[in-house]
């Protein structure tokens, strides 16, 4: 079974690299996800109105599967920070884990260095609001209520405590875009937010935000392997039903 996993990973990598090279030449059309469409407009409105952008990375950390959600959150943070760098009010990132907080500060610093505005970097733009999920959510509520946030982006590993942040955003009338790999969080987001990201739509954020050709290649690779898994599951179920396996 370990070899199977390794082969799976190897094939995934090869296909990812090949499609990445092809994506640089031909742009792939993606299906519309209303959440990202509204996000672009929301960012522009926030910049124009002089209001703040709030991006929350959750409390999943960098180890394990929640780490992938954290990486996607950091990618989205980078795109948003670059877009909103011209705003009078810089965006703010809250985290429920120390490594995420440090990485969010590093992303801000890199963005401002890239645009040549190192003086605009504020180390407090990336904050650790709590070490536990609910304490992190409780610490993020003042940011939503007091910082004149126009758009909330909740992308990362969350639990049911994300409903508190989403509810606070709805009270302030700000737009909320939320996505997590956690099923509970997805259910909560579906009920509480305007634009939930269900399933692996969170991992498609890079492609929709034009983060690079490799993100589009990742989507294509995921689609290909998803179909392979579907075929494998159906085949296995059929084989099991027949009694072959």
Partner 1 sequence: MCGKANPEELDVCQYCQARLKPIWESAPLESASDNDLPEWLRSLRSEPEAEKGKEEALPDWLSGLRDISDVEAPLEADQPPGTADEFPQDQPDVSSQWFGSTFAPDEEPAEAGLGGQLEGDLSEESISWLSRIQETDARSGEPAPGSDEAGEEASQLSPPSFENEIPEWLKPDALAEQPPEQTDSAPQAQTPEWGASEEQALPEWLKDEMLQEPAEQHASPSQETPSPEWFDEDISPVQQLADETEAKQQAAQRELPDWMTDEEGHLPEWLQSGIFVSPLEQPPPPVSSSGGESLPTPAEPEESELPAADAKLPFKMEEGEPSPLEWLASLETESEGSKSAKDLQIPPEIPEDELSWLSELETAYSDLLPEVDIASEGAGGLSEGFESEGLSPPPVEGLPSWLSETEPEGEEAPALADEEESLQPAELPSWLQAMRPLGVPDEPSGDAGAAETEQVEGAGPLAGLRGVLPAEPDVSQGTKPSAFPIRLQVTAAQEEQANLLRRLIEAEAQPRPLPQAPVLPAQFVLRLVMAVLLILSVLIGVVSGLPEFARPAPGSEILAVRQMIEHLAPQSPVLFAVDYEPSYSGEMDAVSGAVLGHLLRRNVYPVMISTVPTGPIQAERLLNMAGKAAGQSLAPTEQYANLGYLAGGAAALAAFAETPRAYFALDIQGGQLWNRPQLQNVGSVGEFAMVVVAVENPDRARFWVEQLSPRLKGTPLVMIVSAQAEPLIRPYYDAAPAQVQGLVSGLPGATAYEAATVQNGAASLYWTPFNIGLLVAVLLMFLGGVMNLIAGRIVRQKQRQETKSK
Partner 2 sequence: MKTNLRVPFLAAISMLSGLVVLVGYFVTLPGLSDLRGLFLDWAVILTAVAAIVGVANLAKVHWRKVRTGQPGAVFSLTTLTSLVLTILVVIFLGGATSAWSLWLFNYALVPVEASLLAVLSVTLIYAFARMINRRLTIFNLIFAGTALFILITAFAWSGFDVFGLRDIRSWVMQVWAAAGARGILLGVALGAIATGLRVLIGSDRPYSG
Query: Within 1-60, which residues bind partner 1 (CB under 8 A)?
Result: none
Tokens of 98: 């120390």
- Pick from partner 2, partner 1, none: which does 171 bind, CB < 5 to 8 A by kind? partner 1
> Interaction with partner 1 in 77-136: which residues (CB under 8 A)?
131-134
- Pick from partner 2, partner 1, none: which does 117 bind, CB < 5 to 8 A by kind? none
Smaller CB separation from partner 1, 37 or 132? 132
Residue from 27, 117, 190, 236 in contact with partner 2 (CB under 8 A):
190
CA distance 131 to 152: 21
CA distance 58 to 154: 7
Residue from 85, 148, 160, 222 in contact with partner 1 (CB under 8 A):
160
Residue from 164, 169, 175, 209 in contact with partner 2 (CB under 8 A):
164
196 binds partner 2 (CB under 8 A): no
> Interaction with partner 2 in 24-53: which residues (CB under 8 A)?
none
Task: Report residue 209 CA to chain centroid gap.
Answer: 11
Residues making contact with partner 1 (CB under 8 A): 61, 63-66, 131-134, 159-161, 171, 181-184
């Amino acid at each position: 079974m370990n070899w199977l996993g390794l082969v799976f990973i190897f094939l995934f990598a090869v296909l990812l690299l090949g499609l990445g090279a092809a994506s640089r030449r031909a742009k792939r059309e993606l299906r519309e996800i209303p959440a990202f469409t509204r996000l672009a407009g929301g960012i522009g409105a926030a910049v124009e109105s002089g209001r703040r952008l709030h991006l929350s990375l959750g409390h999943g950390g960098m180890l394990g599967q929640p780490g992938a959600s954290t990486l996607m959150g950091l990618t989205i943070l980078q795109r948003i920070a670059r877009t909103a760098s011209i705003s009078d009010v810089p965006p703010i990132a809250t985290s429920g884990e120390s490594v995420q907080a440090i990485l969010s500060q590093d992303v801000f610093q890199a963005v401002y260095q890239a645009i040549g505005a190192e003086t605009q970097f504020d180390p407090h733009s990336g904050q650790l609001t709590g070490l536990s999920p609910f304490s992190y959510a409780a610490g993020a509520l003042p940011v939503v209520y007091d910082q004149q946030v126009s758009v909330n982006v909740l992308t990362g590993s969350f639990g049911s405590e994300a409903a508190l942040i989403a509810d606070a955003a709805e009270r302030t009338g700000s737009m909320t875009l939320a996505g997590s790999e956690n099923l509970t969080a997805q259910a909560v987001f579906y009920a509480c937010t305007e634009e939930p990201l269900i399933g692996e739509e969170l991992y498609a954020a890079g492609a929709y935000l034009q983060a690079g050709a490799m993100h589009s290649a990742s989507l294509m690779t995921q689609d290909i392997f998803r179909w392979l898994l579907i075929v494998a599951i159906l085949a296995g179920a059929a084989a099991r039903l027949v009694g072959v396996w």
